[in-house]
Structure 1
Amino acid sequence: MTNTRTTTARRGLCTEFPFVLPRGYVDESGEVHREGVMRLATARDEIAPQSDPRVRANPAYLTVLLLERTVVSLGSLHEVGGYVIENLFASDLAFLQDLYRRINQEGHSEAAVTCPECAHDFTVDVSGDAPGES
């Protein structure tokens, strides 16, 4: 059996994106989970939630279902389900929504920025790959 991640990496297509949440999810025992991985969404990921009754009742719930399907890991949690996504701090939810948009619509997790001091243009990886920073 071929390892899909290894095969995909050799071909140069990045399908998983590590991230660090600005605040982190706090579980029932008080442990904070900040480091995670989001994968690219598939057509099924975008289509399946449309028929969910929670989305029909409240279209904003689509965000929860999309993130539940595409965030494949978060800290030491065994599963990243709807409960976890629903209980993220608002800043972490906004961060994941932006990351989802960047990797699925723009194809990357980088943003162009300009230094306010010297006006130098450069890019930063908004996935927050440096632990302890946002």
Structure 2
Amino acid sequence: MRRTGQAPPPPAPAAALEGPDGRSPVAGGGRSGRRDTLRTEFAFELPRGYVDETGAVHRTGVMRLATARDELVPLRDDRVRENTAYLSVVLIARVVTRIGTIDDIHPGVIEDLFASDLAFLQDFYRRINAEGHTRAAVTCPSCDEEFAVDLAGGRLGES
């Protein structure tokens, strides 16, 4: 038996599938017909900053969402097998795409971060991958007022 009818339209080119911000939309869209986009990259500002070999300080950067591969591949790394604490260094190096003007992020760059910056990136990683956002609940030490701070934003006290 042969069916007749129009052939389905060809798939849209990749550019047509991107949202207004250049990211791919997530399936669905709800009743409004609006297509939601999945945010996969998050900007951050390091507390101290990465100091490169010339002495320049790089404070801003971008971290992308982790994939299953990002979490599995470091487990095969010999440095991680010898010292499990090194796992976070390799993992963070895989998901940070830029620090300042440096685009080649590798474990050596992450090793040279100040401890407070590494701790910040570990917490930032956990927030965007486990919780899906970069906000943190804080309490003012003077007035006990509770409010949320966006860790991806500027430094505390700046607007």
Q: TM-score, normalised by structure 1?
A: 0.89
State the Cα distance separating 1:6 from its structure 2 match.
2.5
Query: 2 CA distance for matches of 1:111 and 1:28?
Result: 33
Deviation, structure 1 residue 113: 1.3
Per-residue CA deviation, residues 57-92 of structure 1 (Å, 9 max, x unaligned), is 000111111111100111011311111101000110
How many residue pairs are counted as aligned between the two chains? 131
Offset of residue 8 of structure 1: 4.1
Looking at secondary structure, tell me which structure has more helix per residue: 1
Check if 1:122 corresponds to 2:144: no
Using CA pairs under 8 Å that are at least 6 residues apart, name the structure with larger relative contact order, 1 or 2.
1
What is the alpha-carbon root mean square deviation over aligned residues?
1.8
- Provide TM-score, normalisation by structure 2: 0.76
State the SS of the aligned residue for 1:111.
strand
Gapped runs of 5+ residues in structure 1?
A: none
Which consecutive unaligned segments of at least 5 residues does structure 2 have?
1-13, 27-34
Please list the CA deviations of residues 4-29 of structure 1 after superposition, one character each: whole Å capped at 9, or x if unmatched: 84224862321111000011110011
What SS is found at the alignment partner of 2:60?
strand
Mapped to 1, the partners of 2:51 and 2:25 lie a distance apart of: 33
Confirm or deny that 1:59 pairs with 2:84.
yes
Larger Rg: 2
Q: Percent identity?
A: 57
